[in-house]
Structure 1
Amino acid sequence: MEKSAMDGWFPGTQSGPMETTETTETFDRLVRAEFRPRGSYLNTASTGLLPARTVTALQEAALLRAEGRPLLPLYEEVEVCRAAYARLAGVPATRVAAGASVAAHTGVIAASLPAGAEVLTPEDDFTSVLNPFHIRGDLKVRTVPLERIAESVRPGTALVAVSAAQSADGRIADLPALREAARAHGARTYVDFSQAAGWLPMAADAYDFTATVSFKWLMGPHGAAFLTVPEDFGGLTPVLAGWVAAERPWDSCYGPVAELAHSARRFDLTHALFTFAGLRRSLELIEELGVEAIHAHDLALADRFRAGLADLGHEPVPAPGSAIVSVPGLGSRQPALSAAGVEVSDRAGNLRAAFHLYNTAADVDRLLAALSG
């Protein structure tokens, strides 16, 4: 990598190279060993890049199937991923369910609410966080601007559902304020960390329910998602339970499940085995690098981009502390940027750039140069 591409590479840098330390050298070495993007990939908010170790694990898992060998080792990968995600989320593994999508997890939560219950949500949050509550038809779904979500909790609010970071523009919810307001009024909380887990430190124990997909900032394959629940399951009924939700799955393949798992595994959905085989390696990489280091790295690049936008006369959506930067009115530039080797998103007319551990200051400068032209 050329020296100019190293400018701002390490965590906490915005301009100029950071003093070399053992920690930053390790970060750089690990990242360079795992990623070789062909262009400037700034679209993690849509899909994260797969580390090399993850690609290898996927290939090895596929060979098991192709060669007719037993797939039992892949089931063990699910439990390794469950434990790794639990460490990332800050909860015991017994509180983590392994599923396939946030929408399915939201659906289980929606099914647990009594008719007429009030659900408070932000305007234009991601559909998977909201739609199952609307589909019920007999719930009172109240929508307010994200900035007013905490102050809008009131007596009678049964549940507050919100993304930690907004998919459309990267705005971060004031989760501490929301948590206190919910406690004050006896409301439960449901937080989707899909646009946050992997770069934003999280504490799932602070909320009743949380969910996350695997294929964005966790850099895993599609097909896996996690749900965290309270120790007492928070009143949820495992309405999607199949054989893997049993206390003894291999004894529960036929007929009704006689005994559900004593842990959050009762909310598991049939596992996408190849996905979990790959995801294990992605989660290992995140643990090796450390979320705090990734957080500092990602924010340094996002802030570099914000500063460059100001120089160009553009004003992004205010989202301090976010690794996602959304610029109104520039979404139409996405096809031309993609053709030039810079991958971003067009979301509701906004240009959305998302900065993750495999990005460098050179990627930021390349995007700014393209926008200036």
Structure 2
Amino acid sequence: METFESLVRAEFAPKNVYLNTASNGLLPARTVTALDRAVRMRAEGTPTGPLYEDVEAVRASFARLAGVPVERVATGASVAEYGGLIAASLPAGAEVLTAEADFASLVNPFHMRGDLKVRAVPLERLAESVRPDTALVAVSAAQSADGRIADLAAVRAAAEAHGARTYVDASQSAGWLPLEAGAYDFVAAVGFKWLLGPHGAAFCVVPEDFGGLTPLLAGWVAGEFPWDSCYGPVEDLAHSARRFDISPSLFSHAGLRASLELIEELGVSAIEAHDLGLADRFRAGLASLGHEPVPAPGSAIVSVPGLGHRQPELSAAGIETSNRAGNLRAAFHLYNTTADVERLLDVLSS
């Protein structure tokens, strides 16, 4: 029987200490094989019908990870696309509550409307800041800059109490933090970070009644029978969230199908335990060096103020991290080991 460690060893062989999953996840070996197969199909003129099957397999896999019926999952290319649809559904003057310095792809579509009241508050005050006139609360489950985890249960309760909708960006959490997407109105996530897929695929979970969204980006794939919707207006939109699909990047979905299969085989709970164990080990090591990370209990992302300038030095030493807002950000995922943590601490101590 394969173990967590044996599965990971079979899929990953990084040439350096890679601690930058918050930017891009590493591709498993099976994903590289799937991408190669898809590219060869196009190069050789092989019928590409199986690549469209990958899209539906990816949708179903993400639905299982998100804990929702597959009919609630749309797939496109970016979180910003779905943020734009949600923003377009709000009436002029509606208030959107966000966390200060949240990721641009989440908050920017609401600012671009120009006629919405976008209010930003500290993350820890988000739930208490919901007001009777708040129409939508939009927040990342885990903050990109520093890994802080939103109190989503409190946000949901406050939103329900005031009749507001909720929109969660799970791009920095889906794949290592269990996701209960059905508890929120809208949940979006990209596939190229913790879900270990190629760039070019994203998801959006919508309510069963579609939450007032208009499929403004609908093309032929948004039809109930897509191959019958190639010409002229789409007469019969999909009766599911597929009406919000954007024409899929077939290569991306071919690779992501393999990546999500691995995530499901390993199990998100096991990945979470692994990732948090390494992150907490790093936090403990930082304390011994006299550094204090941004408080982010329960997060696989560790952000250290004042050390961002050391990112180039670490990269030269074969350790990939990132510099975010002057902080050194290390993101621990399933392919990392305790040796990676010790190597990072060793270089930081020098």
User: Given the two structures, how large is their TM-score scaled by the length of structure 1?
Assistant: 0.93
Task: State the secondary structure of the residue aligned to 2:236.
Answer: coil
**Which residue matches 1:227?**
204
Match of 1:264 among 235, 241, 255: 241
**Which residue matches 2:229?**
252
Match of 2:66 among 89, 92, 102: 89
**Which residue matches 2:216?**
239
Residue type of the partner of 2:166?
Answer: T
Pairing 1:294-309 to 2, within 5 Å after superposition: 294-309=271-286
Deviations 1:226-284 (A, max 9, x none): 00001000111111111000111101111111010000000000000000000000000
C-alpha displacement of 1:78? 0.2
C-alpha displacement of 1:69? 1.1
C-alpha displacement of 1:295? 0.2
**Which residue matches 1:17?**
none
Deviations 1:144-190 (A, max 9, x none): 00000000001010000000000000000000000000000000000
Deviations 1:105-164 (A, max 9, x none): 100100000000000000000000000000000000011000000000010100000000
Residue type of the partner of 1:66?
Answer: A
State the identity as a percent. Answer: 78
**Which residue matches 1:335?**
312
1-side partners of 2:5 and 2:99: how far apart? 38
**Which residue matches 1:144?**
121
Deviations 1:193-248 (A, max 9, x none): 00000000010000000000000000000000000001000111111111000111
Query: Given the alignment of the two structures, is residue 363 of structure 1 paired with residue 332 of structure 2, yes or no?
Result: no
Task: State the secondary structure of the residue aligned to 2:127.
Answer: coil
Match of 1:105 among 82, 85, 92: 82
User: Given the two structures, how large is their TM-score scaled by the length of structure 2?
Assistant: 0.99
**Which residue matches 1:57?**
34
Match of 1:75 among 33, 52, 58: 52
**Which residue matches 2:170?**
193
C-alpha displacement of 1:344? 0.1
1-side partners of 2:310 and 2:114: how far apart? 39
1-side partners of 2:45 and 2:53: how far apart? 18
The 4+ residue runs of structure 1 with deviation greater than 4 A are none
Residue type of the partner of 1:184?
Answer: A
Residue type of the partner of 2:322?
Answer: S
Match of 1:183 among 160, 165, 173: 160
Query: Given the alignment of the two structures, is residue 118 of structure 1 paired with residue 118 of structure 2, yes or no?
Result: no
**Which residue matches 1:351?**
328
Q: Where does the alignment leave 5 or more consecutive residues of structure 1 unmatched?
A: 1-21
